[in-house]
Structure 1
Amino acid sequence: MNEKLWSIARAGSKAIFIERLKLLGEDSKEAVLWLMKEPCDKWARHGFDYEIKSDHIINNMSECFNNWIKDERDKPILTLLEHLRRKVIVRFSEKCDELEKLKDSITPYARQVLTTNEKKGRKLQVYHGMGDCMRQ
């Protein structure tokens, strides 16, 4: 059932969407009714704006978050929230410890990007503009 739902959501054309919806309808009419409660342009790929260049339905942030809470997802809501609160506190604490170990005022990744751009910038030639004329 789960695979059929995802195949419907990922269908790139309306014809394929309808075909897969009919296949799901053979198994469960309730599932089709449940799906069609929401407008297709909110969840089905064929209904997305054609100018959108990404065909991903789920974004990376939600996937990461869902993976992060996977062990607590089946717990009652208050227990889930307490576990999340503790995870956030532990993560902040770990990041603070990492920052204290830094010898630089910026992160290593930012330093790497800055150094790379600095090296690329050495090859560039700067032209100063004065009104309409350019001079070297």
Structure 2
Amino acid sequence: MEKYERLMAKVVAGSADILPWLNEHHKLLWARSKFSADIKCDYINNNLVECWNAWIKQLKDQPLDSLADAIRIKTMVFFEKKRKIPLVLTGAILPAVIHQLNATSKGLDHLQVTKGNPQEAEVTVMYKGEEIRRHVVYLDMQECTYREWQVNGKPCPHALAVITTERQPDMENYVNGYYSVKKLQAAYARVIPSITDKQQWPAVDKGFKVFHQWLRKRKDLRDKERI
């Protein structure tokens, strides 16, 4: 938060009109330093929208009922595949997360750890022998003054520098339960129901007529592409 305030002060110094404009038009929490620690996510992008667009790209020109049914089928198959993954996993935390943390922990030579007790330590960022910044890590509370650990639920580099000072540390003990195998199972536990084709659906008086959409010319198929 201190870094955010310091940088924003420079922006406001360049133009005092910027801050009121941001407060009026961008009231959402778009700065990671202000993210809630309850969410355990630090992404600021639209990747989910682009993935969804690519996922249904070939279905977009179908009639609404066919589109909805096709998405249901894709979701049903997707959930079934995801439910099989935890069956072959060992350990409490997802292996991909543990591998990521193990890889990050190998490049921490620039961090100097000073311990006051087993559960608390000062971590100093060094550059050419000089102290740049110092943070405090609390292992028992899974917190660091850098705040990344609280926001995304995975130990930040400062926390990893302290964890790796232990003999044979169990990385799973320092990862939030959001990344557990049980959470993965819970995310895809719901079974998407199977249904018959629309020729067998119950007849309903809608009170209006639904016509087929106009067929597009071949040259208009490029409308499927993301703009």
TM-score normalised per structure 2: 0.28
Q: RCO (CA 8 Å, sep 6+): is it higher in 1 or 2?
A: 2
TM-score normalised per structure 1: 0.44
